[in-house]
Amino acid sequence: MLNIIVCVKVVTDPEAPTSAFKIDPEGKHVLPAQGVPPVLNPYDENSLEAALKIKESQPVKITIISAGKSIPKAVIKKSLAVGADDLIVIEDEQIKDKKLKFTREVPLKVTYHDPCHLGRHLGESGLYDIPRHILQNLPGITLLEMERRRENTWCCGAGAGVSQANPELALWTANERLKESKSTGVTALVTSCPWCERNFKDAVK
C-alpha cells in the first residue's frame, strides 16, 4: 500500500475582503481579521485533492500532519471528512511542555530559516516558535540564530514566482542567505519550506 503524507495548515480565509484586515503600526504586521473564520490552506487542500485522486485508482493511506499553535480541531478534521485516513496534530504546547519527546540524538549546530509562507504571509498566525521549539528539544541540537529572522527574515528568493521570472535574482538572494547562515558557525541550515530547500540547493550547485 502506498502511504501519502499531506502537510496542512489552518489559515485565515484568503477570500476575506481586504477591508477586514488591519495593519499594526508598531509591530508592522497584519492583525487577525475580525469575524473571518479559519480555513484549511487552499494550496494544502489542492495537495489533499491530488492524494485523494490517486486513492481512487489504487490502495492508498493518506495521513494529514498539521503543526502550529492552538489549531482549531473542527477545521483540521475536515481533512478526514473528505477522505483522509489519519490525522496527526502537533501543537506548540505539546513540545514546550515536553509531552512530545524526542529520543534520537542529532549532534549538530544548526540555524533556522523562517519561510515567508509560514511566517509573514500568515500575519499574526505566523509560525515562528514551533520549529524552534522542536529543534531545541531534539537531543544534541544547538540552535544558533541569524541576525535576520522571524518577521524580519531574509527571503530565500524562490517565492512569488521569482525563481521562474528572474532566476539570477533568486540565486543571488539565496546566496546572501547562505552567507548569513555560515557566519553563525553552524554545520546545517534548517527550514520547513520545500521551495526554500530547493532554492538553497540550486544556489550551492
The DSSP line for 13-49 is: -TTS-GGG-EEETTTTEEEPPTTPPEEE-HHHHHHHH
Tell me the mean pLDDT in the region 71-88: 93
* pLDDT score for 55: 95
Greater model confidence, 34 or 144: 144
pLDDT at 19: 77
Q: Which of 44, 125, 45 is nearest to 92 (CA)?
A: 125
Q: Could you tell me how far CA 107 lies from the centroid of its own chain?
A: 24
pLDDT at 175: 93
Write down the pLDDT at residue 1.
81
The arithmetic mean of pLDDT across residues 12-36, rounded, is 74
Q: How confident is the model at residue 34 (pLDDT cuts 50, 70, 90)?
A: confident
Cβ atoms within 10 Å, residue 77: 13
What nine digits make up the cell of 105? 540524538
Q: What is the mean pLDDT of the chain?
A: 87
